[in-house]
Amino acid sequence: MQRWSRPRVRPWAARSLAARLMLIHAAVLVVAMSTVLAVVAIAFRDSTVSSVDNGLTEDVREFEASGSGRPVTQALDTFAHAYLLNQPFEPGTFLVVQLSGQPVHGNPGSRALRTDPQVQSWLANPPASPRVVEFDVGAAHYRARVAAVDLNGQAIGGAVAATDMSAVQRQLSEVLLFAGGEAGAAVLIAILSTFLVLRRVLGAVGAVTQTASLITSTAPGRRLDDRPSNDEIGELVRTFNSMLDRLEAASLAQRRLLSDVSHQMRTPLTVMRGHLEVAGRTDLANTPEARETLDLLLDELAHTSALVDRMLVLGHSLEPDFVRPEPVDLREFIGDVYTAARALAPRRWAHGGAPDIVILVDRDRLRGALLNLVDNAIKATAPEDEIRIGAAQGPGGTIVITVSDTGRGIPPEMHARIFERFERGGPADERGSGLGLAIVKAVSEAHGGHVTIDSAAGAGCSVSIILPGSRTVPQRIETGEAAP
């Protein structure tokens, strides 16, 4: 038996800004309109009830005035019968009168009131001062004024002037229905206008967001359409475009500086290295002190040259065409990196395997990043330690390429900043440039991925480049070839 499950309601924070603003605006409008309807209903009812009470008082007074002005020869009972039979009353309004010792008289349609015991009791014993009461007779609800009939200052009986409130209730319902329809239409119009305003305002914000994402990836020169309007939206667009111009100019200046410095430093370093190597083959290097000095200078030059090369790579990483993807057989690629790594230092090398898939990456950039990880692993290990290179497919089809070692490890407090430029893993890495892991991070992010590190002091280190599953090239099942 399939169990019915209630649909999940999206949490408030997960909704879009436009949806939240629309819901808040709609809630405020509904509360405001409900308050207005309640005030209108109360005011209409009070006004109607007051009008009904005035009408009932006037009916009794007109009866008393007519009775006082009747012909002397006309009996009160005859007058009451004739008056109530011929006097026009408002629809749903009734007047029931009983004079002392006489039967109960009422206008046409008042039979239910004349025969009601409660009304007969009021007529037989009218109150000393008029009072207003509400009561039910059958299915009808009445509001009535109970008073004594006073002719020329003498009480001669009782009178009950009543109005059937069902007509009033119908009027109140019609007014509320009409007002509610107008309020609903006003709410819908207000929500629609708010939607149009939010669409225009948030549309500009969305365009800013989309343009910013494109600028960071594929279109560094992209700009928002410059709106001619002088409102806040137009000012936002112009300010954003101006900011992009300044950022692009600063980024371009930074790339040029890194490239220029790197290129300018390469030539003198090469010249110095050449002269030192020539000097090492002459009589100037015959003494141990001279040989030691030459070796030290050559080592420093090699270190500086490596630093310049890495600065040049980081400078290129700021450019949109930093990586140029091509189909690469992952298993063959990992084997190539493993073979190159084994020649770098005597360690216990281990091949972690790789899935038989084709990925779309920049082979040279990714190979350089992995060799940087291998170089760091060599520096953190001794000959008896193990360094493992391998790849696997992770959750969601991601590609995880890992370089791990059993060396001294990196303290957890350094994990957050170890990928920053010129940051070293510890005192033992002072000979490093501090740019290797920064390059690894730049290459990973240029491929749409990221880098993770799993390490602790004295417990080895494992660094993984995680690439998105979209980098996997689909395979043709029937031929085994990579799909174009």
Per-residue pLDDT tens over the stretch 139-160: 888 999 999 988 877 888 999 9
Using the predicted structure, report yes or no on whether residue 1 has a pLDDT greater than 50.
no
pLDDT, average across residues 453-480? 79
Token pair belonging to 154: 């003498």
Write out pLDDT tens, residues 372-409. 899 889 988 999 999 999 999 989 889 999 999 998 88
Residues 6+ apart with CB under 8 A from 150: 64, 156
Place of tokens 């008042």: 110
Write out pLDDT tens, residues 279-323. 666 666 667 777 777 777 777 767 676 666 666 666 666 555 667
Instruction: Name the average pLDDT for the chain.
Output: 80
Any idea how long the chain is? 484
Token pair belonging to 218: 């594929």
Using the predicted structure, report yes or no on whether residue 67 has a pLDDT greater than 90.
no
Residue 264 CA: distances (Å) to CA of 40, 257, 270, 422? 84, 10, 11, 21
Amino acid identity for residue 144 in this structure? A
More confident residue, 426 or 186: 186
pLDDT number for residue 229: 63
Write out pLDDT tens, residues 232-246. 667 777 787 788 778
More confident residue, 255 or 76: 76
Residues 6+ apart with CB under 8 A from 241: 223, 224, 226
Answer whether 463's CB lies under 8 Å from 451's CB.
yes
Q: How many CA atoms lie within 13 A of 381 on its CB side?
A: 27
pLDDT number for residue 224: 66
Residues 6+ apart with CB under 8 A from 132: 53, 56, 143, 144, 145, 146
What are the beta bridge partners of residue 350?
Answer: 388
- Eight-class DSSP state of 129: S
Write out pLDDT tens, residues 26-37. 888 888 888 888
For the chain, give every residue range classified as CATH 1.10.287.130: 243-317
Least confident stretch, 102-116, 166-180, 413-427: 413-427
More confident residue, 222 or 355: 355
Using the predicted structure, report yes or no on whether residue 430 has a pLDDT greater than 60.
no
**DSSP line for 247-296:** HHHHHHHHHHHHHHHHHHHHHHHHHHHHHHHHHHTSGGG-SHHHHHHHHH
Token pair belonging to 383: 């000959």
Yes or no: is domain 18-170 CATH 3.30.450?
A: yes
Answer whether 325's CB lies under 8 Å from 362's CB.
yes
From the number of C-beta atoms within 10 Å of its C-beta (0-12, 13-18, 19+), residue 158 rates as buried
Share of the chain above pLDDT 70, in %: 74
pLDDT number for residue 483: 45
Rg for the chain, CA atoms, rounded: 48
Whether pTM > 0.95 for this model: the answer is: no
Residues 6+ apart with CB under 8 A from 140: 112, 164, 166
Token pair belonging to 35: 């308050």
For the chain, give every residue range classified as CATH 3.30.450: 18-170
Instruction: Taking the CA atoms of 164, 167, 173 and 179 in sequence, report the sign of the dihedral they define.
Output: negative
pLDDT, average across residues 445-465? 87
Measured between alpha carbons, how far is 203 from 17 in angstroms, rounded to an integer? 12
Q: How confident is the model at residue 12 (pLDDT cuts 50, 70, 90)?
A: low
Measured between alpha carbons, how far is 391 from 330 in angstroms, rounded to an integer? 8
Least confident stretch, 71-85, 253-267, 322-336: 253-267
Number of H helices, E strands in the chain: 10, 13
Using the predicted structure, report yes or no on whether residue 419 has a pLDDT greater than 60.
yes
Measured between alpha carbons, how far is 271 from 279 in angstroms, rounded to an integer? 12
pLDDT number for residue 482: 45
Using the predicted structure, report yes or no on whether residue 451 has a pLDDT greater than 60.
yes
Yes or no: is domain 243-317 CATH 1.10.287.130?
A: yes
For the chain, give every residue range classified as CATH 3.30.565.10: 326-473
Identify which of 261, 190, 266, 201 has the alpha carbon closest to the alpha carbon of residue 232: 201
**CATH domain 326-473 topology:** Heat Shock Protein 90 (3.30.565)
